[in-house]
Amino acid sequence: MEEIKLTVAKQAQLKSTARLRLLHKVRGDVLKAHYLQAEVEAKNELSENINNPLFVTAVAAYWGEGDKATSSIVRLANTDPKMIKLFLDFLVLFCSVPKDKIRGALYIYEDLDDVICRQYWTKMTGIEHFHKTMVLPSRHKTKKLPYGTCTVLVSNTYLKRKMLFWIDQLPEIVLNTVSSGRL
């Protein structure tokens, strides 16, 4: 009786493992197709918006200041609220990110007040939702950031694929325009 139980359990485990592998492969294929669609959309959106100053500026800002290492988070940090606001407008207008999906994260020095810094960044940029503020030890007495650094975050792998496509293609388009004398 015990031998039959072990045999049935082993067969069930083998079938379950095979089923999980198949589901994993199917899910991977679906995601691959989904992310290829992101690149197709990104290519079309780049050609549609290449002459829009907000689009080009935001992509260039992300190229210089954005996170390119992670696969699923669109993240840009800066000390200038105008840059953060510009990128927020880009996310809402061109990327159709709902405002409630956009998060801020502050990096401040220990002598700054978290509440005052959050109020400043909210007033200057419109960000309403923040992650926990990271407090850094003060370094230099004369070189201070009065409100710290603000980081904009959107967790979205599809959008991240598009951003990486745009920052890859934008320099080539601009360089081709310059070399052809169409500037």
56 φ/ψ sector (left φ>0, alpha ψ -120 to 50, else beta): alpha
- Per the confidence metrics, is the pTM higher than 0.85? no
DSSP string across 57-89: HHHHHHHHHB--S-SSEEEEEES-HHHHHHHHH
Q: Where are the alpha helices (DSSP H) in 66-156?
A: 81-93, 114-125
By C-alpha distance, which of 51, 126, 118 is closest to 84?
A: 126
Q: What distance in Å separates the CA atoms of residue 5 and residue 3, rounded to the nearest whole number?
A: 5
The per-residue pLDDT for range 69-128, each reduced to its tens digit, is 999 999 999 999 999 999 999 999 999 999 999 999 999 988 899 999 999 999 999 999
